[in-house]
Amino acid sequence: MKSTLSSSSKKWVYDAIARIEADYNRSADTHLIRLELPKAPGITLYLKDESSHPTGSLKHRLARSLFLYALCNGWIKQNTPIVEASSGSTAVSEAYFAKLLGLRFIAVMPYKTSMAKIDAIKFYGGECHLVSSPKTVYDEAARLAKETGGFYLDQFTYAERATDWRGNNNIAESIFAQMAYEEYSVPRYVVVGAGTGGTSATIGRFIRYKQLATELCVADPQGSVFHRHFNDRTLLEIETCTSLIEGIGRPRVEKSFIPELIDCMIAVTDHQSLTAMQVISQKLNRRCGGSTGTNIWACIQLIKKMIADGEQGSIVTLLCDSGERYTTTYYNDAWIEDKIGDCNSLKAEIEAII
Ligand SMILES: *Cc1c(COP(=O)(O)O)cnc(C)c1O
């Protein structure tokens, strides 16, 4: 039998895998922040701080997994240009790994992608290919990969399967290990958003694999298709995803989104997400991104339900990325005033809980 990898290309692939593993070995895990809730006695909120990865978001885990999966499959070889469709954060993390391996990287993104993300991709030597409609990123990435003889990483298809769901220090294993010494070590809920759906799939599978009582709740922007699909599995696509929250919510049900692993979904308006983002940023004394606000709004709803049901316990959610990526939008008063208006009444509602 003939190997599809010659011995010289095998050596490059092995060296590439070793470089990613050495980079991982030099890195620390992300913190799990504990937030006391004096207004909700007996309930504790935890935030897994994914902004502390070298490339600033939870997409650092995904990028590593996608590269390792593609390398082990023989899909990436020496000099293979790497192409990806992204709303920004994934491309930043993938540009980091492409640079680590000395590979050309092209990100296909909607033109409205934040300048901070574009600058970060360029910092790692990546190229940005901007398209006018968010729905054309997939076809354009596939076309560019073909044209350059490159490989389309395709996060929206491969996110759920590229991650080792039983462990290998995936986000789920890390969260549950870090909860071990807390008074409610098995959380009542884990709350996450969905962009690819990969994070929710990894956590959902891990919960079942470890036979835990934890329920998985996905917080989804009102304008996204995912929560509609959760309630009506025949609905696969909407015209556009109108949400202002970057990183989560899609107009198309992505292959990596697996509704069977989710216990409940909560639809969140941009107004609710961005107000919750402001409150949690104040509580933590640092700026969080918009999708963290979406998560926090959903957590508030679950905490209210726990209080009403007389339950005590813990809730874990994700601090997905830092607000420093959004200084011209979410942290610009004029932008907020223009896009969502007054936040004060909702703020009071959130501050009644956290
Ligand atoms: C991608 C992303 C998410 C959701 O993660 P997935 O695993 O892709 O579903 C949440 N927040 C931000 C900022 C993201 O970039």
- List pLDDT tens digits, range 5-52: 788 899 999 999 999 999 999 999 999 999 999 999 999 999 999 999
Q: Which of 49, 89, 114 to mutate to test the pocket of ligand 1 (most atoms within 8 A of CB)?
A: 89
Model confidence at 2, pLDDT cuts 50, 70, 90, reads low
Supply the mean pLDDT for the chain.
96
Tell me the mean pLDDT in the region 279-305: 98
Provide CB contacts within 8 A for 217, sequence distance 6+: 189, 190, 191, 192, 262, 263, 264, 265, 266, 298, 302
CA trace torsion 271, 239, 87, 154 (10° rounding)? 140
pLDDT for 195: 97
What is the three-class DSSP state of 44?
Answer: strand
Which residues neighbour 175 within 8 Å (Cβ) at sequence distance 6 or greater? 32, 48, 190, 203, 316
Calculate how far, in angstroms, residue 58's C-alpha sits from the geometric centre of ligand 1.
7
41: CA distance to ligand 1 center in Å? 30
Q: What percent of the chain has pLDDT over 90?
A: 94
Q: Which of 49, 57, 322 has the most ligand 1 atoms within 8 A of CB, as the residue to mutate?
A: 57
pLDDT of residue 28: 95
Domains of the chain and any CATH numbers: 25-57+166-351 (3.40.50.1100), 59-159 (3.40.50.1100)
Please tell me the predicted confidence (pLDDT) of residue 230: 98
| CA–CA gap between residue 81 and residue 106 (Å, rounded) | 8
For residue 27, the CA-to-ligand 1 centroid distance in Å is 21
Q: Which of 51, 320, 321, 330 to mutate to test the pocket of ligand 1 (most atoms within 8 A of CB)?
A: 320
> Can you tell me which atom of ligand 1 is nearest the CA of 197?
9
Residue 112 is predicted with a pLDDT of 87
* pTM (2 d.p.): 0.96
Q: What percent of the chain is modeled with pLDDT above 70? A: 99
Q: What is the CA radius of gyration of the chain?
A: 20
The alpha carbon of 10 and the centre of ligand 1 are apart by a number of angstroms equal to 33
Give the atom of ligand 1 at the shortest distance from the alpha carbon of 194: 9
Mean per-residue pLDDT, 314-332: 96
Read off the pLDDT band of 1 (50, 70, 90).
low
**Residues in contact with ligand 1 (CB, 6 Å cut-off):** 57-59, 89, 159, 193-199, 247-248, 289, 291, 320-321
**Better pLDDT: 87 or 97:** 97
pLDDT of 169 reads 82
The ligand 1 atom at the shortest distance from the C-alpha of residue 291 is 11
245 Cβ neighbours under 8 A, 6+ residues apart: 193, 221, 270, 273, 274, 290, 291, 293, 294
Q: What is the tens place of the pLDDT at every residue in 100-159? A: 999 999 999 999 888 999 999 999 999 999 999 888 999 999 999 999 999 999 999 999
